[in-house]
Chains A and B, each alone.
Chain A
């Protein structure tokens, strides 16, 4: 017979540093704004309406890299770190290893992101100076001071060691409470633990191996692994880990099947690392590696199906909540987009389909759906839930929250459909061996729609920022333990 007396839990305030969570969120939103502005600039360039035409430092090629790096390392990484500072201590009932280390990591990470942007924008111009070239020659520095020539790994070579060290410190800080956990672990902690190991390895692999160790085709293969593993082994486990935490607490019911969630986790662990080569189909990379990547990509769709079944099972019979509960709506909309994007992935890696859409805007649409339509939307949902708790105020306007959701969800879906269609058109233009210009002219109408879809998403984000500001300026609410403090469980 077991005793009903439960051990006393530590206080929330002793576990979670709410100020740090809020800072991470604000840093994330700042970089999101920069990234979206950069994306808008590139969209305007494509429709020949670039207002900064001729300004070397603000050329679209550099801003394009700022756009992607700011979203990956500035927005997603910062937002995830903020969420983890909330979720991990509450899941393990232990604080992170060191609050001082947390603040150091926060500062160091902002330094890394700002230096990356500065390196990308200023690096090439700086390097063109005679004295810099001479100094680099004397010091035998053969690498570019600006972006590295690895897709998604453009962080300049001189900032890579700092970022790598930062990731190690992040792992130490968060793994400490996780490894002290005794007994069976909740699935979120499995995902988080794996993410800390994978991210450290993935970053090192993509940023150091092609630069210093392996070149040529092998370097290309490593680059392919890096591109996809950054999504699959950094963003995906953190995103799903957070969903497995936030969805049950908001629905006031446990996840449908914990066993199934672990199947999804181990499936991801063994399948995902194989996938990256699918970015380089039809290249000199040995065909058995390409086939391996194709098969594992299709197999991941099975893994994703288990995860989606689990979340549908969790909300089954309570669909009404999708109407009135905004964070849950953000989460489930992101999950639907995730399923679409993974299904799309399984189709587009087949060699016949790849022949048509390779290098086209199809891939760009796919990338936007996964990075914005899935992970950014999950983060918006978490922020919608946590911000009132962090700043002790109710949202100023539900209408602005709703506009944020609808503009983001509809905007990114329009962009996804538009670019998917553009990609098919471009593929057929190229297959017909028509001159390149013909495909560019044929893409114009699609690119106009893309710019408007981007503007819609940006408008939604602006609504969120305005709402946040007005909320912060609003009156502090009185805590109601039955409703405000324990909303999902009362």
Chain B
């Protein structure tokens, strides 16, 4: 019971008509909305997470200075601080290297490359 065409037509809708392109005004509106939403969510997420990191660091220093009741916690906290400290450095490195400069560009480049790779596979120029 071979069903040729299932993949082409259904699983991979390759021969769909090209999508209608949104107008420049819609695009600009959508981009503004995206930027605002990203900033709001970034503040909601990254600020408390940084607060958490500083809090853990403060607790770690307190324990180091002799709060013996908390000494149980040194191993898990050290793990957290090592991992998060590494990512904090990576975050600063990425910012300094303009990784977030043209922040939406990589998604277009990825899609473009995928298309061209598949065209090559099919023998197209």
Contacts and interface: CB of A to CB of B under 8 A. Distances in A.
Given A394-B4, A484-B8, A274 B80 contact: yes
Main secondary structure of the interface of B (DSSP, over half): helix
Contacts of A477: 4
Contacts of A327: 11
B36 to A, nearest CB: 11
Interface in A199-227: 201, 205, 209, 213-214, 216-219, 221-222, 224-225
Nearest to A194: B87
Q: Which of B37, B107, B115 has the most CB of A within 10 A?
A: B107
A221 B80 CA distance: 12
A388 B123 CA distance: 18
A267 B79 contact: no
Nearest to A288: B59
Nearest to A182: B97
Contacts of A396: 1-3
A481 B116 contact: no
A217 B6 CA distance: 56
A12 B116 CA distance: 10
Contacts of A267: 45-46, 49
A486 B86 contact: no
Interface string B94-125: 00001111111111111111111111111110
Contacts of B56: 274, 292
Nearest to B10: A324
Interface residues of A, number: 97
A395 B122 contact: no
B104 A257 contact: yes
A270 B47 CA distance: 10
Instruction: Identify whether the interface residues of A are mostly helix, strand, loop, or mixed.
Output: helix
Contact of B14 (A248, A254, A266, A488): A488
Interface string B13-51: 111100100000000000000110110011011101110
Best-surrounded residue of B1, B3, B7, B52 (most CB of chain A within 10 A): B7
Given A198-B83, A259-B38, A252 B72 contact: no
Interface residues of B, number: 78
Contacts of B105: 184, 258
A9 to B, nearest CB: 5
Contact of A186 (B49, B79, B82, B107): B107
A227 B96 CA distance: 34
A9 B113 contact: yes
B77 interface: yes
A259 B11 contact: no
23 contacts: A184-B98, A184-B105, A186-B106, A198-B83, A201-B83, A258-B107, A259-B104, A266-B45, A269-B91, A271-B45, A271-B49, A299-B45, A302-B41, A309-B37, A394-B6, A396-B2, A397-B3, A481-B121, A482-B15, A485-B121, A486-B115, A488-B114, A490-B14
Given A273-B83, A302-B44, A489-B115, 4 more contacts: A258-B105, A286-B70, A396-B2, A488-B12
Interface of A: 6, 9, 11-13, 15, 90-91, 93, 184-188, 194, 197-198, 201, 205, 209, 213-214, 216-219, 221-222, 224-225, 245, 248-250, 252-260, 262-263, 266-267, 269-271, 273-274, 276-277, 284-286, 288-289, 292, 295-296, 299, 302-303, 305-306, 309, 321, 324-327, 384-385, 388, 394-398, 401, 474-475, 477, 479-490
**8 closest A-B pairs (Cβ-Cβ)?**
A481-B122, A487-B12, A486-B118, A270-B49, A485-B122, A254-B107, A487-B14, A267-B45
